[in-house]
Amino acid sequence: MIHLMEARDALVGLIRLGGPVVALILALSVLAGAVVLCKLWQFRAAGVGRHTGLKAAITAQDAGQHTRARALAEAAPSHLSPLLAEALQAQSAATRDRLYTLAEDRLARLETGFRLLDTIAQVAPLLGLFGTVLGMIDAFRAMQGAGQAVDPSVLAGGIWVALMTTAAGLAVAMPVSALLAWLEQRMAAERRMATTLIEAALCPGLRALAEPSVQPGFAHVPA
């Protein structure tokens, strides 16, 4: 309880030093944290990254075990499971466009909130810079008003308080940018998996031709 009170007092003191700009940056940090936690819970509930069951279903489909493939697809703990089950039931490749539309709709739901995180990552350092500019204006105006009796310590104190807003903005923007990049990377992997599932279900048994291996340092010369 004592530590919570100390943290509260430190937070109040920080807001008093930085003014409304720091308060706004802290509010953005709380909002970003809430969005990130929500996305982590949503990703876990949707089974993002759980592709083992989906790959097993595709393997069964390629082997001609259509009934088993559908059973594995329906039992897979992934948000892409209904998409694969519907793709396996498709009679022809004519439904490819619709399957891609359904996949994009599912992925778009998981990407909700990404734009907000990107906005916070861009606005937070700008707010910090804005607060620094305002603080520097106040510091130099106070120096001008003091005339010849300028106290360097007072000026330095005003400057470091002004620079604190920039530090606060960067402290919010950097982790938010890193977390957003990680979330986007996971969604890019889900989008690749969705493409693989649709194509593998509509065209079972096909395998991409591997490029001939070439030893390092040797050029491949056709016979």
User: 156-185: per-residue pLDDT in tens?
Assistant: 666 777 788 888 899 999 999 999 999 999
Would you state the pLDDT for residue 219?
Answer: 41
Res 7 pLDDT > 70: no
Q: What is the pTM of this model?
A: 0.79
pLDDT of residue 97: 87
Q: How many angstroms separate the CA atoms of 40 and 81, rounded?
A: 19
Mean pLDDT confidence for 87-107: 84
pLDDT of residue 212: 41
CB 22 within 8 A of CB 165: yes
Contact of 69 with 90, CB cutoff 8 Å: no
Q: CA gyration radius for the chain?
A: 28
Residue 44 has pLDDT above 90, yes or no: yes
Q: Given a cut of 50, is residue 38 above it in pLDDT?
A: yes
Does position 45 have pLDDT exceeding 80, yes or no? Answer: yes
Closest CA to 59 of 197, 210, 175: 197
- Position 137 scores a pLDDT of 78
pLDDT, residue 62, reads: 86
List pLDDT tens digits, range 107-137.
999 999 999 999 999 999 999 888 888 878 7
First to last CA, the chain: 79
Distance from C-alpha of 205 to C-alpha of 195, rounded to nearest angstrom = 16
